Amino acid sequence: MGDWSELHRDILLLIVRRINLIEDFLNFGTVCKSWKSVTTRDNFNSSLPRAPWLMISVNDDDDDQDDDNPCTKFFSLYNGMNLKKWIPEIYGKRCLESMGWLITVGIYRGEISLLHPFSRDEIELPHQCITELYHANKTSLPGNFVQKAVLSANPFHTSDFVLMTIQGEYQFLSFWRPGDPLWTRIRIRNYFSDVVYFSDQFYAITCDGCIQVCDVFGSEATGVHVLTHLPPWIDGKYYILESLGSLFVVSQDGVDIRYFKDGWKRIPQMHMESEDDDDDEEEKMYADRTTTFLVFQIDLATCNVTPIRDLGDQAFFLGANASLSVQASQFPGIKPNHIYFTDNYLDPYIHLVEGGGLDMGVFNLADGSIQPHYNGVCHSRDCPPVWITPTPC
């Protein structure tokens, strides 16, 4: 056998353009200089569907942490692979995700940027302190100012994109285009829970279940109108996403954390109160965990809201990422008709000694059961575990 490093470039290109998994693509480039030279964005087939990885921020005192070269952990559901990558740009930041990009927010200084975790390309965004009405809308911790972020297009593929965010204590919608010196505030008096880019428009859902559509691409001022409402008996934390060309809303029930006179303590694994406990309830602190999900399909033509009990071959991924769905049959290890969720309730990350990250799992829509999707430690004081689409571009 000849020297593999001397393979002709045309042969290397034929091979690398057939690689689907990013871990194989990245490993291909570590063999030698000639192999690395072909592992460029243009040679990666980014059009293929991809299952998200779980990105886990490591605490400074984690036993598995290297103090000199701290690494971020990634876990693949479909092949059980663990990957560590050195991404110093995210330390001390809270991270959200859209289209494979991280939206990073400084925990204490509040700086905001778009960061691609595998190429480490970075786009600086306007600072939160220059946002309209910032002092009336700022959060107690600057890192929690941006609560959701969704791209209309991948910045690697075009400069004509919009980044829509939910910002501040009152959860306003604000967006940014490349070249804008400031965030543009959408003047709607609502608390928003989630937003999705779908069919050339942004669809958002408020914390009380009102679904609205926002057109930010017209020549005139941003047009916003109410599409429909969820039934009044629905309650919980809302997500909105696209799946197979349709719009869906998901309600997550059981997410709550309560503060009592004892103050914030270590978050328990399960509900800690018993029926025969006679102590004063106000002396306790406990956390409720996610108990169930309800799914609704939104008919954009009729504005009807229909409960759905079967996602078919689809699996939903919810959390601090832009909510998304994948076709489970394309990825061994991912279960159809299941909802994979991460802990993105912010209060534990601020107040609890070990941070947040415990309320995670995979929900079976058929029988209502919840099982873990990751058995490792996910505690963090800075950044929630987040689903991220693995792609170098």
pLDDT mean over 372-387? 82
CA atoms within 13 A on the CB side of 90: 32
Give the pLDDT score at 79.
Answer: 83
CA atoms within 13 A on the CB side of 345: 25
Residue 75 near residue 82, CB atoms below 8 Å: yes
Give the pLDDT score at 154.
Answer: 94
Give the pLDDT score at 226.
Answer: 92
Low-confidence winner among 25-34, 152-161, 299-308 (lowest mean pLDDT): 25-34
How do 338-341 and 314-318 pair as beta strands? parallel
The pLDDT tens digits for 77-115 are: 988 888 888 899 998 899 999 999 999 999 999 999 999
Q: How many helices (H) and strands (E) does the chain have?
A: 5, 27
pLDDT mean over 217-233? 78
- Cα separation, 47 vs 245, in Å, equals 17
* HEC letters along 11-33: HHHHHHCCCCCHHHHHHHCCCCH
Q: Report residue 74 as tokens.
A: 């990634």
Residues in contact with 294: Cβ distance below 8 Å, sequence separation at least 6, in sequence order: 234, 236, 250, 251, 253, 307
Low-confidence winner among 141-145, 173-177, 186-190, 349-353 (lowest mean pLDDT): 349-353
pLDDT at position 245 over 80: yes
pLDDT at position 5 over 90: no
Higher-pLDDT residue of 308 and 261 is 308
Q: Report residue 281 as tokens.
A: 């309830």
What is the band of 276 on the pLDDT scale with cuts at 50, 70, 90?
very low
- How far from 265 is each of 78, 153, 254, 261, 384, CA to CA, in Å? 35, 41, 19, 11, 18
Q: In the chain, which ranges are continuous DSSP H helix?
A: 9-16, 22-28, 33-36, 134-137, 347-351
- Cα separation, 304 vs 250, in Å, equals 15
- Cα separation, 227 vs 287, in Å, equals 34
pTM: 0.86
pLDDT mean over 5-20? 86
Classified as helix, coil or strand, 130 is helix
What is the band of 264 on the pLDDT scale with cuts at 50, 70, 90?
very low
Give the pLDDT score at 228.
Answer: 95
pLDDT at position 58 over 70: no
The pLDDT tens digits for 118-132 are: 889 999 999 999 998
pLDDT mean over 282-293? 60
The pLDDT tens digits for 134-160 are: 999 999 889 999 999 999 999 998 999
Higher-pLDDT residue of 275 and 198 is 198
Higher-pLDDT residue of 121 and 218 is 121
- Cα separation, 90 vs 163, in Å, equals 19
pLDDT at position 379 over 80: no
pLDDT at position 28 over 60: yes
What is the band of 287 on the pLDDT scale with cuts at 50, 70, 90?
very low
Q: Any bridge partners for residue 252, and if so which?
A: 237, 293
Give the pLDDT score at 224.
Answer: 82
Q: Any bridge partners for residue 364, and if so which?
A: 338
